[in-house]
Amino acid sequence: MILIFAVDKNWNIGYGGKMLADIPSDLKRFRQLTEGHIVIMGRKTLEAIPGQGPLPNRINIVFTRDKNFNREGFYILNNMDELFPLLERINPKGEKEVFVTGGGTIVRQLLPHCNRAYITKILKSFDRADTSIPNLDLDESWKIVKESEIQRENGLEYKYVDYIRK
Ligand SMILES: NC(=O)c1ccc[n+]([C@@H]2O[C@H](COP(=O)([O-])OP(=O)(O)OC[C@H]3O[C@@H](n4cnc5c(N)ncnc54)[C@H](OP(=O)(O)O)[C@@H]3O)[C@@H](O)[C@H]2O)c1
């Protein structure tokens, strides 16, 4: 599995249900990397998607403990144990990549299964943030394999940093 996230300097990812920053080029890159593949998210991340619909051209999986939750276009799972049988069924040859797209609670549960990460590092600390993911720079089992030049958009500086599990 692959993590794909935009983080600030403190590895914060969201505030009040929203992402910390709006970076159109990053969203475009997210779409290009994930299209044709499988995306996994928590119910709160789904609710942060404009329109709250499935991401087009991707297989969308959402986690919720609400057994009555119903949303067109999503595989809805009520616990982690259901994930691997589902992936086995819908992606038996492993031809599609499986992206963990958020939020913090889902990452914490699936990080042990991830071996790659596409992190957009926003070079700023946001004052207001309530959701984070683990800092891979502090985790000795991860290493950086690629780092872009600094990008600039919407008054923000950021770079794309790719990690793999050692
Ligand atoms: N910067 C980025 O790249 C990025 C990416 C994605 C999200 N975000 C931000 O992250 C924030 C949301 O993250 P979050 O950590 O608060 O929420 P989340 O992980 O998106 O969703 C949490 C919900 O997922 C469900 N869930 C979690 N574990 C489960 C399990 N084992 N079995 C069944 N259901 C489970 C529960 O839904 P129920 O409550 O319905 O039971 C839980 O409340 C938002 O601010 C969002 O904008 C940022």
Q: What is the mean pLDDT of residues 21-32?
A: 97
Mutate-to-test residue for ligand 1 from 12, 63, 70, 84, highest number of ligand atoms within 8 A of CB: 63
Residue 149 Cα to ligand 1 middle (Å): 30
Ligand 1 atom at minimum distance from 65 CA: 41
State which amino acid sits at residue 154.
Answer: N
As a 3-state breakdown, the chain gives helix, strand, coil percent values, each rounded to 5, of: 25, 35, 40
Q: Could you read off the pLDDT of 69-127 as tens digits, one per residue?
A: 999 999 999 999 999 999 999 999 999 999 999 999 999 999 999 999 999 999 999 99
Partners of 40 in beta bridges: 61, 100
Q: Is the whole model's pTM more than 0.95, yes or no?
A: yes
Which residue in 134, 17, 14, 1 sits closest to 80, CA to CA? 1
CATH number of the structural domain 10-159? 3.40.430.10
Given pLDDT bands bounded at 50, 70 and 90, which one contains residue 20? very high
In the chain, where the domains are located: 10-159
- Per-residue confidence (pLDDT) for residue 86, from 0 to 100: 98
Task: Please give the angle made by the CA atoms of 165, 157 and 32, to the nearest 5 degrees.
Answer: 55
